[in-house]
Every structure is written in C-alpha cells, then in structure tokens.
Amino acid sequence: MKRLFLDESGDCSFSQESTCKHFVVAIVSIDPQHSNKIKNRLKRKFASFIKKGWNKDKELKAYSLCRYRRFGSNAVASILQTLITIPSLEINYIAVNKNKITNQSFRQAPYGTAYNYFSGTLISEMMFQDGLHDISLIYDMRNKETHENKHFREYLETKIFGKAFENDTNVNILIEGGLSHQHYGLLAVDYFSWAIFRKFEHKDNSFFHLFERKVRRKREWYIE
C-alpha cells in the first residue's frame, strides 16, 4: 500500500476575478511505515521556528512562512530539504495553464469541476500507469466544492472503479478528507505544491530544483 496526500496551489477556477494563470494539483506518496517520519521531522522544524518567534497558534504553511521576514525562503528550503531525505517519499503533480484551456463548457462548469477532473486524472494515472493498485488517499478538506455534481470522493471512486472494471484490474482505494493540523502529510504536500506553483506562476525554480529528483510523475497541461 502507498499513502497519498493531496493538495492544490493556485486557483482552480476560471472566473474573471481569478488572479492566477496556473494551478497545481500535487500528491506526496509514501510507504506507510515512513509516514511518521514526516510528522517527526516537521515537528522538529516547527519547534525550532516557534523558539525563534513564530506564533505557535498560526499554521506553518509555505506561503506564510516565506512571507515572514524573520524566516523567509531559507526556512521553506530547509523544510523541503528535510522532507526529501525520507526514502520512500515521492512527488507527483499536474500543472495547468488555465489560459490555454479554451473549451467553454469546461471553463463555465461549476466551481470544483476542474479540481475534481485534474485530481482524478493524476490519481488514475498513478494507479493504472504506475501500478499503485492499493492506496490510502488523504485530501485537504478545505479545497472548495460548491457545486451540486459529484463531490470529490464520489467522483473519484466512480472514476477509479470504472477504470478498474474497464481494465479488469483489482484495486483498493481508501479516501479520507482531513485538515492539515490533523495530518502532517497535508502540511508536507502544501510545501511541494506551493513550490511547483511558484515554478510556473512566478518563473521561480529555486525551490523546485531542491526536490526535482524526487518527482515520480508530472503532467504539464499547455505549459510552454
């Protein structure tokens, strides 16, 4: 079994109010016996930041940490460098240039449709192309779903089990929503998805290159 943690960066909407040109769906995959290594290493890092003045009641997300002058980009880099030393940890992602998606029915679909589609595409490829037939997936519940169509868990189960039927393949997938203060794996994937988003949105490769060798699967839609 592989344990997967899923998060997004950017804005998965096509509204005129959106200020992001790209969005990223990222997954950290890890062997279950190494999951505690994520927790232990992040706890040690966060404890050192709190000793140096970080407000312990404020969540240590990559965006906030990077913007805080006392810590900044060096602190984010140190977390990424700590995480990539975990042997079985791998990063998988889809990056999308929203401006290059011209299909109007997709662009005008209810909010959450793009998140469902691209997350499902990435997970499906990991399961059926990379051979991960037994997975436990935890996704960040704060990712928004405001439409009345299939919600994420139902959508994903339909996609995966339908694909398994078509391929005559036996799969096992457990899906759980969670919050980052409950699952350190969600905090970890936040740092990777943020770094990947910066690579495309801001042309800043300084964080991505730290863990590029740990990327197992990448899909870049309309990225030039």
pLDDT score recorded for residue 220: 92
Task: Decide if 52 is inside a domain.
Answer: no
Task: Decide if 215 is inside a domain.
Answer: yes
pLDDT score recorded for residue 143: 60
Task: Decide if 205 is inside a domain.
Answer: yes
Task: Decide if 32 is inside a domain.
Answer: yes
**61's tokens:** 């997300």
Range of the domain at 163: 2-36+90-221
Task: Decide if 61 is inside a domain.
Answer: no
Contact between 210 and 81 (Cβ < 8 Å)? yes
pLDDT score recorded for residue 146: 46
> How many domains does one find in the chain?
1
pLDDT score recorded for residue 186: 95
- Where the chain has pLDDT below 50, the residues are 145-148
CATH code for position 112: 3.30.420.10
């801001």: which residue's tokens?
202
The region, left, alpha or beta by phi > 0 then psi within -120 to 50, assigned to residue 9 is beta
